[in-house]
Amino acid sequence: MLAQILEEAWAISPDPRRDRLAAAFVTHAVALATGVAPVDITSDKRTHKSAARARQISIYLAHVIFHWPLTRVAFAFGRDRTTCAHACHRIEDLREDRVFDARMTALEACVRQAPETIPDLAGIEFQRAGLGR
């Protein structure tokens, strides 16, 4: 039973922890751009329209930027796959508006560029200052 659950999780994402961190990164970038608190974006409760829109933007950006299938996006955001599909379709429809599309293009470029500037420190052992010298 446990082996099957782990196998299914691995099929969705080779590194679920890193995916959830990436989803949180996108969520915080969207929070900065929209002025909606990250806690409201990630809330399970029905929220104000602006929080729902920010959540849809976060899901859409993760799907587009990271090239994740919707199942992986859903897993990273703790949502259902159909919810993520709806979010992506909704944002794609809204991108028909030139102003919204320009803002999304700018936000997408910002989020896409940021991970490239963050060094990969995985596997590096950190020593306390003054120790090990």
Asked if residue 18 lies in contact with residue 123, where contact means CB atoms within 8 angstroms, the answer is no
pLDDT tens, 9-54?
Answer: 556 677 888 899 999 999 999 999 999 999 999 998 877 899 999 9
Evaluate whether residue 18 is within a structural domain: yes
pLDDT tens, 81-103?
Answer: 999 999 999 999 999 999 999 99
Asked if residue 12 lies in contact with residue 71, where contact means CB atoms within 8 angstroms, the answer is yes
Evaluate whether residue 128 is within a structural domain: no
Work out the pLDDT band at 117, boundaries 50, 70, 90. low
Evaluate whether residue 66 is within a structural domain: yes
Q: CA-to-CA distance for 113 and 111, rounded, in angstroms? A: 5
Say which CATH number the domain at 76 has.
Answer: 1.10.1750.10
Residue 54 is which amino acid? A
Q: In total, how many domains does the chain have?
A: 1
Note down the domain range covering 66.
Answer: 2-116
Contacts of 133 (CB under 8 A, 6+ apart): none
Residue 87: both structure tokens together: 């979010």
Evaluate whether residue 75 is within a structural domain: yes
Evaluate whether residue 10 is within a structural domain: yes
